[in-house]
Amino acid sequence: MKNLFIFLFIFVGLNVVNARCSVFVQGYVVHIKSDIIDNDGVTVHCRSKDDDLGTHVLRPPNLEFEWLFCDNIGLTTLFYCHFWWKNFEQTFDVFNHKLSRWCNENKKEGNTCNWEIKNDGFYLYENHTTWQRLYPWNAKPI
């Protein structure tokens, strides 16, 4: 019984090493910021298989939206968002295992996936060094 208690104490202790998750899974933040400043704003609806994060309109003074989560043990966590702005829209994964390499840990920001919305598309901050445009806006079908 004493050995079981020691094991559980160590196991729980190891799981609180990472403030957000555990030693077995990584914690991430997806941060979306709009560089488009107009009164209509950019409408964003994000979700995963398990979580619907709702619809948000990014317009002054609220041009940012973010959420925190833990990757699952199978590394299959996926969040995608649908974006609308004027006569344009776009849908894509904002987090999956492949994209997680762009969100490497940084002393200041941790495992943060920084997305920026601009007039010409969607940019991801690659390893906290350079912005890369990954997706353009698509014209809404008529």
pLDDT digits 0-9 by tens, 50-97: 999 999 999 999 999 999 999 888 888 999 999 999 999 999 999 998
- At 74 the pLDDT is 84
Q: Are 68 and 79 in contact (CB under 8 A)?
A: no
% of the chain with per-residue pLDDT over 90: 57
- At 136 the pLDDT is 98
Spatial distance between the Cα atoms of 90 and 117, rounded to a whole number of angstroms: 11
More confident residue, 31 or 26: 31
Spatial distance between the Cα atoms of 99 and 27, rounded to a whole number of angstroms: 14
pTM of the model: 0.80
More confident residue, 39 or 107: 39
For residue 116, pLDDT beyond 50? yes
- At 8 the pLDDT is 39
10 Å CB burial of residue 13 (0-12, 13-18, 19+) is: exposed
Residues 6 or more apart whose CB falls under 8 angstroms from that of 82 comprise: 44, 45, 46, 89, 90, 91
Tokens standing for 114? Answer: 């920084």
For residue 30, pLDDT beyond 90? yes
| Confidence band for 22, pLDDT divided at 50, 70 and 90 | confident
In three-state secondary structure terms, 101 is helix
Across the strands, what pairs with 25? none
